[in-house]
Amino acid sequence: MYTQRKLRTSKRIAPAEPKKKEQAEDTDEDATLNHSPKKKPREVPSKKTFDKSQPDDKDIFNGKTVYFVPVEIPQARRNLLARRVEEFGGKVADELHLGGKTPLDYIVVDDRVALDTICRAMDNNFHDNFEKMLQLLDKASVVRAQWLSQCLLERKIVDDSEANINEFLKNHIRAMANKADQPSRSPLPFSPLRDSSPSRDESYHSDDDRKSYVSNFSDLGDMEDLHDVPGSQGDVDAAKLQKSNFFLSPAGGSRSGTNPNAHIIEQLEEMMKTYRNMGDEFRGYAYARAISAIRKFPDPILGMEQIKQLKNVGPRIASHIVEIVETGHMEKKDGAESNEATKAMNLFVNMHGVGTKTAQKWVQMGYRTLDDLKEKVKLTPEQAVGLKYYDEFQEKMTRREVEEIVRIVEDTVDSIRSGFIFKVCGSYLRGREMCGDVDLLMTHSDGHSHNTILKPLVGKLHEMGFLTDDLWLTEGRHKKYFGVCKLFKEGSKHRRLDIIIPPYNEWATCVLGWSGSMYFVRSIRDYAHKKGMSLTDYSLNINVVRVNGEKVNEGIPLETPTEESIFEALGLPYLRPEERDH
DNA sequence: AGGCGGTACTG
DNA sequence: CAGTACC
DNA sequence: GCCT
């Protein structure tokens, strides 16, 4: 059918070095992940009943003063820990004073802040103050939050050797002090204290659950719910930081996506990816819906009181949330992440053309790295492309770059035939700052030019050297090209490019489908389904007859010239693309 | 206990 | 048909 | 794993 496949080459694929993605999981799936029945997950509602019932060791902290370094410890967790510390006889300092009349006993940092991050922060903020820093460290122990959790759990001061990073810091300070004697000390650019946590920063809300979303409209007829992303607060951290000036990055503490429950969301997202990569689609989906509910929840989640208000959070996920709130981490997730085969699964599944089945097969055959694949596995043509650009495909591009790519395609189209209309869909249309690929839709109002443009277009783009590889090209009801392009500019990366060409009268449904998010699309289709309709990229049909889920009668396609008309026909309030970014 | 979006490609 | 992809 |  389509000839330009040459590029794909038989020669060996350029080494794409194994790049590790975060997240992991556990390969012997059921073993640790699924098994629910045994060992019942710690009673959800209990806990937090510490209070009255424990007459004994109430003052484990015995007047000790604790300071929480706000960075990276989610506010919710900080509050909770602080409350507990006081409950158990400790004091909580508001700020960290270098001079220290009331000497601090413990300085608590988040478990995830990397050591070198802390060091860099100190370098930037205390280069005049080495002595005071050392004094401070003499009296106070800098410990990980996890240690504090442990103390609270066991109701005693436990050994902190693992959590205590005093010596490390002192050594570092001494080293810096020496170095400071010598004149050259450039003020490190230094990027904030949060390098480690969002393993991929651009937070991505991958989700939302159709139910909550759709039912919000239909039942309550109010969409408020969707808009009210609690975004605002979160400069609390920044403010506090300013004050304490400890570990403060001069440049910018301003955190990006501040959600009061970011910490919880992060961990659950890891679990979601894990399940999904393992092939447990629906469990992953359940997580996605739960996460969406949490993301919309405006207040810090401290316990069951808040959890009970969340839709799509059942007993299992609730218990995970409780665990995260109380201990700061999630055992199941940590376990999965430390599993080696699991890491390989993640590595493989992130390659284009590889899903859970193939990844599982490879892992089982003992492969663990991309190099293993290069040498030992017969790849499909698509997988070969995926491997060749493994690293590049993990990266996202700016909106600006999307626009440059689109510009080239548009110009080329115009040079062939005038009058086409274009729309960049996908995450770009939803307003994301960074986009993983380019989804360009185009059509022609004359009702026929859309049929013949794709092949010449792709041919020309190849000639220009703009397209570097093809995944596939089809001439179905909607003409589609999936491939790889690269801007001519020096240093440009290879990018995934999808071109979709529906007939003019199917434009709106196609745009809707290609605008996402995936969860939005699933939810609105589900909603249509429930109303006896059927929504696809091609049309919105009414009077659909299904028997046992099988469509028996296609129904009748509605005229839906605009996206608005689709919502209207479904009886839903219109949502702009950026409001579909769940 | 059953459902969880709807479609179309490759091999 | 199974597997993967697209949002 | 959650909902109906």
Confidence band, pLDDT 50/70/90 cuts, at residue A118: low
Protein-to-nucleotide distance from the CA of A548 to the C1' of D2, whole angstroms: 22
CA A467 to chain centre: 29
This prediction has a pTM of 0.65
Residue A542 maps to a domain: yes
Indicate which CATH number applies to the domain containing A106: 3.40.50.10190
Residue A278 maps to a domain: yes
Confidence band, pLDDT 50/70/90 cuts, at residue A142: confident
Q: What is the pLDDT of residues A482-540, one digit of tens each?
A: 999 999 999 999 999 999 999 999 999 999 999 999 999 999 999 999 999 999 999 99
Q: Is the pLDDT of residue A128 over 90?
A: no
Q: Is the pLDDT of residue A55 over 50?
A: no
Residue A493 maps to a domain: yes
Containing structural domain, residue A439: 395-502
Indicate which CATH number applies to the domain containing A445: 3.30.460.10
- Measured CA to CA, the distance from residue A81 to residue A130 in angstroms comes to 29
Are A69 and A165 in the same domain?
yes
Protein-to-nucleotide distance from the CA of A35 to the C1' of B5, whole angstroms: 28
- Measured CA to CA, the distance from residue A149 to residue A327 in angstroms comes to 5
Please give the residue that has the higher pLDDT: either A247 or A126. A126
- Measured CA to CA, the distance from residue A108 to residue A87 in angstroms comes to 17
**Residues whose CB is below 7 A of strand C:** A 351-359, 382, 386, 425-427, 436-437, 439, 482, 496, 498, 513-518, 521
Residue A384 maps to a domain: yes
Are A104 and A165 in the same domain?
yes
Residue A432 maps to a domain: yes
Q: Is the pLDDT of residue A354 over 80?
A: yes
Say yes or no: Cβ of A316 under 7 A from any atom of strand B.
Answer: no
Q: What is the pLDDT of residues A158-193, one digit of tens each?
A: 667 666 777 656 655 555 555 444 433 223 222 222
Confidence band, pLDDT 50/70/90 cuts, at residue A111: low
User: How many folded domains does chain A comprise?
Assistant: 5
Residue A250 maps to a domain: no
Residue A346 maps to a domain: yes
Tokens of A256: 């990006």
Question: Which nucleotide has its C1' atom closest to residue A310's CA?
Answer: D2
For strand C, give the nucleotides within 7 A of a protein CB.
Answer: 2-7
Task: Using alpha carbons, select from A325, A332, A330 the residue that is nearest to residue A275.
Answer: A332
Question: Which nucleotide has its C1' atom closest to residue A311's CA?
Answer: D2
Question: Which nucleotide has its C1' atom closest to residue A351's CA?
Answer: C4
Using only C-alpha atoms, chain A has a radius of gyration, in whole angstroms, of 27
Tokens of A430: 């939803």
